[in-house]
Structure 1
Amino acid sequence: MTTTTSRRTLVTNGALAVLLLGGAAFAYAQLGTDEAAGETALRTATAARGGVTASVTASGSVESAKSRALTFGTSGTVERVNVKAGDKVRKGDILAEVDDDAARETLSAAQATLASATEDGTSTAQLYAAYVKARNAYREARRAVDGTVIRAPFAGTVTAVNGSVGGSSSGTGSGQTQTGQTGQTGQTGQSGQSAQSSQQSTTGFIELADTRKLQLVGSFTESDAGRLKVGQSATVTFDALPGVTATGKVSQIQPVASTSNNVVQYPVTITFGSVPAQVRLGQTATVEVVVGSAENAVTVPTAAISTSGGRSTVTLLRDGAQVRTQVEVGVRGTATSEITSGVSEGDVVVLPSVTTGTGTGNGQQQRGFGGGFPGGGPGGVPGGGR
């Protein structure tokens, strides 16, 4: 009985040992399979000569570079409105008038008083004071009469009329929306001022703009704004006009930033050089400004460059070994960048790696890639996880 029990114990222990050895072998084999599947594919590119262009972009809306909110210089009741939104006018044209009877009566009285003071002479201090007072009253009355009409200060297009016959000379505030030739709607109360005050709204009785001189004010991030200079070339595209582009230049960079959602931005004015016929005031547009370019330069993919603490490096492949090398970057473009030192034409640079792997979870095979950047590791860091 004792012998039989010993034999059974020995058989059981042997079976357990076999099972343990088999499990260890399976685990080792599986680990080897996973390691093979998780191998990192080495990606490389060759430094070559070519051109590099760097640019920054922003969006905005088309506005007139020359516009004015026109008002009467005299209070009164509007007698005539000679234009409507969309009308084109010439410099000096009378756009609107108020009843000038009272103003002319005041002018006549002031003129008579001045004539009398002139006849009395200025031989004494009292006479001189009377003359000056009469002269100033006449000038004020003259300005009041002149203020009963609104004249066009330049040739342009009426963008809004904010009043009507029989109403107050200060305007109603409702006005008419712009239609017709300029194609803008809902612009009542906007003056389209210059870049210095483009973000402020001023209402005039009549709004006038020169549609031949257009501009766009875009908000650039502080890093992009630091790369801009007055005079740089720009290309403007329009959301509603596929295939239509306009050219322009940076004409002003605002020194004071605006902050929205913790993002610091600087308004930058782009003045159009050429204006396609289809472009209208108020249209949404995107501006791209070229901030740097290089020709016949040694270039590498921008993705191959790592920058930290103001120091840029690339990884070179030399005799099968990866060598981290410090470089000087010139023009940094979106796809490729200029290397001014540290890399020569023909050198092989290592790109951020792409690591693939397989694993099992709930009986399903899973395949993963590093980061959101091609070849990125955890958290989207190029080459991370290596």
Structure 2
Amino acid sequence: MHGLKRARQASCEALAADVKRAQAQIRVSTAGLERTTLNAPFAGIVARITGEVGEYTTPSPPGIPTPPAVDLIDDACLYVSAPLDEVDAPKIKAGQPANITLDALPGQTFPGHVRRVAPYVTEVEKQARTVDVEVDFDTPPRQALLVGYSADVEAIIERRDNVLRVPTQAIQQDGTVLVLGADGTLETRSLKTGLANWAFTEVVSGLSAGDLVLLSFDQEDVKAGVKVQPKAVP
């Protein structure tokens, strides 16, 4: 009788051991499954997947970067990142107003403001040293924007309204412009300029509103004293 009782007890202990072993195997399988699952840290768009179904990725040797398994894009809050010449970086501060233009939406300018100025200078292949600047849209454009659009940013350091201006490309290196005279010939004018950017330059003196200035210097024979015909503007 006692022997039968011990046999049953031993059988129960064996079954309990089998249950513990099965539970341990479940935990091992669960841990292995977790290692094969990627959880996105935010909602977004999957732009690229590196690898194939069933393929395993292992850590790369030192010095050889492993490409990311998934490129995930967060399109909930779009901003523009642009390189700025290090010479101009001290003039830019977070919060300054800026204008944003997009190559995909010509003729439109979107107001924004500087959200961040990188605290370091970037040097790419011995080219110009630049500082990365990030600019937010003040009001999101009505058009759907795609991540990766080409964009230009103009930070507004100082502003003046209702002033005389000329295209910056019309000003020669010596600070003069070629103006169409009353007799149809070109004449040289020296300018006193104010604010300027890559597009326009403020004229303090030297020109009057309505003066016609030469914009292109492609032809070598076009110089002061040459008789020219103004090009009709469409």
TM-score w.r.t. the length of structure 2 is 0.51
Q: Residue type of the partner of 1:332?
A: L
Aligned partner (choices 251, 264, 270) of residue 135 of structure 2: 270
Q: Is the 8 A contact 1:213 1:272 kept in 2?
A: no
Q: Residues 288-307 of structure 1 correspond to what in structure 2 (within 5 A)?
A: 288-294=154-160
- The change in CA–CA distance for 1:149 and 1:266 in structure 2 (over 3 A counts) is same
Kindly state the Cα deviation for residue 280 of structure 1 after the two structures are TM-superposed: 0.8
Aligned partner (choices 146, 153, 164) of residue 287 of structure 1: 153
Aligned partner (choices 116, 119, 138) of residue 255 of structure 1: 119
Kindly state the Cα deviation for residue 301 of structure 1 after the two structures are TM-superposed: 6.3
Partner of 2:99: 235
- The change in CA–CA distance for 1:106 and 1:336 in structure 2 (over 3 A counts) is farther
- The answer to whether the aligner puts 1:332 opposite 2:195 as a matched pair is yes
Q: Which stretches in structure 2 are left out of the alignment for 5+ residues?
A: 1-20, 60-64, 169-192, 208-220, 226-234
- The answer to whether the aligner puts 1:150 opposite 2:38 as a matched pair is yes
1:223-267, Cα deviation, whole Å (9 max, x unpaired): 322221111222222213323444432121122223466633211
Partner of 1:162: 50
| Cα distance in 2, alignment partners of residues 143 and 245 from structure 1 | 52
Structure ranking higher in helix proportion: 1
Q: Residue type of the partner of 2:97?
A: S
Q: Is the 8 A contact 1:257 1:265 kept in 2?
A: yes
| Cα distance in 1, alignment partners of residues 143 and 22 from structure 2 | 49
In structure 2, the residue corresponding to 1:255 is in which secondary structure?
coil
Kindly state the Cα deviation for residue 107 of structure 1 after the two structures are TM-superposed: 8.1
Q: Residues 1-386 of structure 1 correspond to what in structure 2 (within 5 A)?
A: 108=24, 145-169=33-57, 203-259=67-123, 263-273=128-138, 274-294=140-160, 332-333=195-196, 334-336=200-202, 349-350=205-206, 368-369=223-224
| Percent identity over paired residues | 25
In structure 1, the residue corresponding to 2:76 is in which secondary structure?
coil
Structure ranking higher in strand proportion: 1
| Cα distance in 1, alignment partners of residues 137 and 23 from structure 2 | 46
1:176-210, Cα deviation, whole Å (9 max, x unpaired): xxxxxxxxxxxxxxxxxxxxxxxxx9832122112
Q: Which stretches in structure 1 are left out of the alignment for 5+ residues?
A: 1-104, 112-137, 172-200, 304-328, 339-348, 352-365, 371-386
Q: Is the 8 A contact 1:235 1:245 kept in 2?
A: yes
- The change in CA–CA distance for 1:109 and 1:167 in structure 2 (over 3 A counts) is closer
| Cα distance in 1, alignment partners of residues 155 and 122 from structure 2 | 20
| Cα distance in 2, alignment partners of residues 154 and 211 from structure 1 | 10
1:86-117, Cα deviation, whole Å (9 max, x unpaired): xxxxxxxxxxxxxxxxxxx9982697xxxxxx
| Cα distance in 2, alignment partners of residues 236 and 202 from structure 1 | 35
Aligned length: 158
Please tell me the root mean square deviation across aligned C-alpha atoms, in Å: 4.2
